[in-house]
Amino acid sequence: EGDSLPVSAFLGLEDGAFPQGTAAYEKRGVAINVPEWQVENCLQCNQCAMVCPHAAIRPVLTTDEEVAAAPEGFVSRPATGAQGLHFTMQVSVMDCLGCGSCAQVCPAKEKALVMKPFSTQEQKAPLWDYAMSVSRKANPMNKFTVKGSQFEQPLLEFSGACAGCGETPYAKLVTQLFGDRMMIANATGCSCVWADSVPSTPYTTNADGHGPAWGNSLFEDNAEYGLGMYLGVRQVREKVAMDVAEVLANDQTPADVKAVLQDWYDHRDDTEGTRERADKVTAALEGVKDSCPVCRRIYDRRDYLVKRSQWIFGGDGW
Ligand code: SF4
Ligand code: SF4
């Protein structure tokens, strides 16, 4: 009887927003064959994780203690390029769709991924849960490389795209590089079907709660839709910058707050460090927002302090 529910019944979600990352609860287990990692053959190149359309195979770095505490069957070897850590290429057998892309791309002379019947791998599902529970490590590589990009958390995972989908590996990669501050305007078509088969949502958030904001409009208007998102954000950010300039010109503003605001103002359109600058401004305003109405206004718009990364996704519809 969903049609009879008024919007007001959806407490906290009256604007039509959905919770992120719900695809992680599906655990479909629909693959006929899933990859088994052959640790001794692996070159640690991360190409398999790069091509996986479902983020169902990922490199995981662990400490000595985490290896010692791992459940039986968890396999690792010393990590290349990350001293003191161990490397595992972990498969989620329940989220894998069995496309075989990972095994196909594996460049090892003796393949380091071999497709095996699901029934022989099913019992390994808890190993994925353990791999996802270990502490997050700083990326030991340049994230703008094939190998380094895959040490970043995919903020698009376990979508309902077809096995072997050619779109989702790229969409996933974009989320690994820019996902914590991304906005996506999505055309109607395949890319919105795998992205919002409500209530299954594959776009997810990182440990800080940041992830892609995603919206879908029509088949034909996606350029305008995305441009509108971009212009709307730019307009709000220009107002925030005007408020910051006003606070900077005020003699009453404490010097330490001024220093943080000046740094934000001077670099507000720089990508590098935008999250850190925004966090510093938010922290600095905590102490003054109750005595300074303009500071309060900036604080209320703190989501806009971060420079956003605007994307327009097409797909077969557009
Ligand atoms: S078989 Fe396909 S879905 Fe499964 S882990 Fe490999 S690339 Fe991902
Ligand atoms: S593609 Fe093959 S060699 Fe490279 S990390 Fe994956 S399993 Fe290892």
Q: In this structure, are 155 and 23 located in the same domain?
A: yes
Last residue of a domain, one of 144, 177, 210: 177
CB 311 within 8 A of CB 280: no
Domain of 87, in residue numbers: 13-177
Does 108 contact ligand 2 (Cβ within 6 A)? yes
Name the β-bridge partners of 88: 60
pLDDT of residue 78: 98
CB 258 within 8 A of CB 251: no
- What distance in Å separates the CA atoms of residue 165 and residue 296, rounded to the nearest whole number? 46
CB 99 within 8 A of CB 161: no
Compute CA distances 113 → 4, 71, 95, 215, 316, whole Å. 50, 21, 16, 36, 31
Q: In this structure, are 148 and 289 located in the same domain?
A: no
CB 88 within 8 A of CB 44: no
- To test the pocket of ligand 2, the residue of 91, 113, 149, 150 to mutate (highest count of ligand atoms within 8 Å of its CB) is 113
Residue whose tokens read 């029509």: 218
Longest dimension (CA), the chain: 71
Report which ligand 2 atom has the smallest distance to the Cα of 105: 1
Q: In this structure, are 229 and 158 located in the same domain?
A: no
CB 248 within 8 A of CB 256: no
Q: In this structure, are 72 and 161 located in the same domain?
A: yes
Q: In this structure, are 103 and 32 located in the same domain?
A: yes
On whether residue 315 sits in a domain, the answer given is no
* Residues 117, 123, 124, 126, CA torsion sign: positive
pLDDT of residue 108: 98
Look at the chain and count its residues: 318
Three-class SS of residue 260? helix
pLDDT of residue 7: 87
The DSSP letter of residue 172 is H
Cα–Cα–Cα angle for 111, 121, 150, rounded to 5 degrees: 55
Q: In this structure, are 169 and 75 located in the same domain?
A: yes
Does 43 contact ligand 2 (Cβ within 6 A)? yes
Neighbours of 96 (CB within 10 A): 27
- What distance in Å separates the CA atoms of residue 250 and residue 161, rounded to the nearest whole number? 54
- To test the pocket of ligand 2, the residue of 37, 47, 58, 60 to mutate (highest count of ligand atoms within 8 Å of its CB) is 47
Q: In this structure, are 129 and 230 located in the same domain?
A: no
**Residue of 116, 120, 141, 121 whose CA lies nearest to 59:** 141
On whether residue 144 sits in a domain, the answer given is yes
pLDDT of residue 83: 92
pLDDT tens-digit map of 38-76: 999 999 999 999 999 999 999 999 999 999 999 999 999
On whether residue 43 sits in a domain, the answer given is yes
Last residue of a domain, one of 142, 177, 212: 177
On whether residue 149 sits in a domain, the answer given is yes
pLDDT of residue 139: 97
Tens place of pLDDT per residue across the chain (318 aa): 778 989 889 888 888 788 899 999 999 999 999 999 999 999 999 999 999 999 999 999 999 999 999 999 999 999 999 999 999 999 999 999 999 999 999 999 999 999 999 999 999 999 999 999 999 999 999 999 999 999 999 999 999 999 999 999 999 999 999 999 999 999 999 999 999 888 889 999 999 999 999 999 888 899 999 999 999 999 999 999 999 999 999 999 999 999 999 999 999 999 999 999 999 999 999 999 999 999 999 999 999 999 999 999 987 877
Q: In this structure, are 27 and 141 located in the same domain?
A: yes
pLDDT of residue 256: 96
Q: Establish how many alpha carbons lie within 13 A of residue 33's alpha carbon, considering only the half-sphere containing its beta carbon.
A: 12
- Count up the domains in the chain and report the number: 2
Q: In this structure, are 173 and 228 located in the same domain?
A: no
- What distance in Å separates the CA atoms of residue 156 and residue 167, rounded to the nearest whole number? 12
**Which pair of structure tokens corresponds to residue 316?**
């077969």
Does 89 contact ligand 2 (Cβ within 6 A)? yes
Q: In this structure, are 51 and 111 located in the same domain?
A: yes
Q: In this structure, are 67 and 144 located in the same domain?
A: yes
On whether residue 65 sits in a domain, the answer given is yes
On whether residue 183 sits in a domain, the answer given is no
To the nearest 10 degrees (0 to 180), the angle between helices 274-286 and 255-266 is: 150
On whether residue 7 sits in a domain, the answer given is no
CATH of residue 132's domain is 3.30.70.20
Encoded amino acid at 89, one letter: M
Does 60 contact ligand 2 (Cβ within 6 A)? no
On whether residue 40 sits in a domain, the answer given is yes
Encoded amino acid at 137, one letter: K
Q: In this structure, are 166 and 69 located in the same domain?
A: yes
